[in-house]
Amino acid sequence: SPTSISSGTCRLLDAAAQQRWVRADSPNPMTTPLPIPAGLQVMLADVCGGSESPSMARKVLAWKREQRGVVGADGDIPHWDVLKETNMHIAKLLQDLAKETIDAATLSTLPASEWPKTLADGSTSSSTQLLIELHQSFLTTRRQLKAMGDSAGVPIEPAEQTEICDATMQLPGVVAALVPGAGGYDAVACLYIDTEETKNGIGKLWSEWNKNGQIICPLAVQATHQGLQVHF
């Protein structure tokens, strides 16, 4: 706990983090920085109805082992390997977007399906092109997760959640909506252009949702634009 860690220990942890976790010149870095770009934000919600996440994860891993036995050591596992590549691409897009300025005034007024129209006049906005690609990549992720769940007999993105996510992704300013974590019925997440109008639109849709007997409760949590921090 914070009260039981001495400042000396914190300094050691901080040094270790700088050396092994995030420094590009570390011989064995444990991770690389993945910031939420300025101009984007995350919203989460609880959905009435739970899922046994550990059980779901075990079933997916068992399915993966079976698929590995079918395709061999060097074969591509259906859906799994595409997901891995797509997730790595999403990470790269977020890193690239962190260097750009997002046109929030324009994009927050349009659903993502209409963002390409803003480039029809010959504009070559790097941030808009990256956001369009990010939106498409998240759609690929959703399709692959749903297909993998169907193949494994696990409701990673059940039909009820598909309906919620599809409706959310039609709102102006929404980059992506998906089922977080191991999937299932109990949560939904959304990446959106960080404006009050977009945030309120998502909150209104979720709080008024009354289909399939589901109750969606938006949570008062947000993504931070800082990573690991040490407080003394």
Per-residue pLDDT band at 226 (split at 50, 70, 90): low
In angstroms, the CA 123 to CA 127 distance is 11
- Give 36-55 pLDDT, tens digit per residue: 899 999 999 999 865 667 78
Ramachandran category for residue 191: left, alpha or beta (phi over 0 → left; psi -120 to 50 → alpha): beta
In angstroms, the CA 115 to CA 109 distance is 10
Most confident of 3-7, 26-30, 219-223: 219-223
How many other CB atoms are there within 10 angstroms of residue 36's CB atom?
19
Q: What is the mean pLDDT of residues 152-173?
A: 95
CATH topology of domain 33-218: Alpha-Beta Plaits (3.30.70)
In angstroms, the CA 190 to CA 7 distance is 37
Cα 193 to chain centroid, rounded: 14
Are 154 and 79 in contact by the 8 Å Cβ rule? The answer is no
Q: Which amino acid appears at position 161 of this protein? A: Q
Q: Which two tokens stand for residue 68?
A: 């590995």
In angstroms, the CA 184 to CA 86 distance is 21
pLDDT at 162 over 90: yes
First-to-last C-alpha distance (Å) of the chain: 13
Are 230 and 202 in contact by the 8 Å Cβ rule? The answer is no
pLDDT at 31 over 80: no
What pLDDT is attached to residue 35?
80
State residue 174 phi and psi, 5-degree precision: -90, 125
Ramachandran category for residue 79: left, alpha or beta (phi over 0 → left; psi -120 to 50 → alpha): left
What pLDDT is attached to residue 207?
93
Q: How many CA atoms lie within 13 A of 125 on its CB side?
A: 22
Query: Nearest 10 degrees: CA dihedral of 105, 111, 113, 118?
Result: -20
Are 161 and 188 in contact by the 8 Å Cβ rule? The answer is yes
Q: Which residues contact 146 (CB under 8 A, 6 or more apart)?
A: 156, 157, 162
Per-residue pLDDT band at 166 (split at 50, 70, 90): very high
Decide: pTM greater than 0.85: no
Single out the residue of 145, 163, 162 nearest to residue 154, CA to CA.
145
